[in-house]
Amino acid sequence: MPELTYDALNVGDDLPTLTTDPISRHTLALYCGASGDHNPIHVDLDYAKAAGLDDVIAHGVLSMGYLARLLTNWVPQRQIRSYKTRFTAITNIGNTVTCTGK
């Protein structure tokens, strides 16, 4: 099968899946610094446990950033008007994020 290119994309085509490395505390610390979102639910284990979680959780917008990477791997950024995400679960430490698109 030939490699998919932007010029060969048609509406409804599946984009190649993007799967991240497992989310780590280091990933979350870097994202906190980059985004300015220092909500303790993402970095403070005691706070997360007090909220009823087993551990800190990843930022939802971090997952959206991975989706943006999937899109901009294939579509020139100037042509992206909007995109939507659907969160189906919390992203925990050790999880991978899988992004797909049509």
- The mean per-residue pLDDT over the stretch 89-98 comes to 94
- Contact between residue 83 and residue 67 where contact means Cβ atoms under 8 Å apart: yes
- The mean per-residue pLDDT over the stretch 91-101 comes to 92
pLDDT at 13 over 60: yes
Q: Which two tokens stand for residue 66?
A: 């991975």
pLDDT, residue 75, reads: 80
pLDDT, residue 2, reads: 53
Each residue's pLDDT tens digit, 15-38: 889 999 999 999 999 999 999 999
> In this structure, is the dihedral angle defined by the CA atoms of residues 35, 41, 46 and 48, taken in order, positive or negative?
negative
Residue 37: closest CA among 15, 65, 14: 65
What does the domain layout of the chain look like in residue ranges? 11-99
What sections of 1-102 are H helices per DSSP?
25-35, 45-50, 60-72
- Contact between residue 56 and residue 93 where contact means Cβ atoms under 8 Å apart: yes
Task: Please give the model's pTM, rounded to 2 decimal places.
Answer: 0.79
**For 11-99, CATH number?**
3.10.129.10
For the chain, the first-to-last Cα distance in angstroms comes to 18
Backbone angles phi, psi at 54, to 5 degrees: -80, -25
> 1 pLDDT band (50/70/90 cuts)?
very low
Distance CA 4, CA 11 (A): 13
Each residue's pLDDT tens digit, 29-87: 999 999 999 999 999 999 999 999 999 999 999 999 998 898 888 888 888 888 888 88
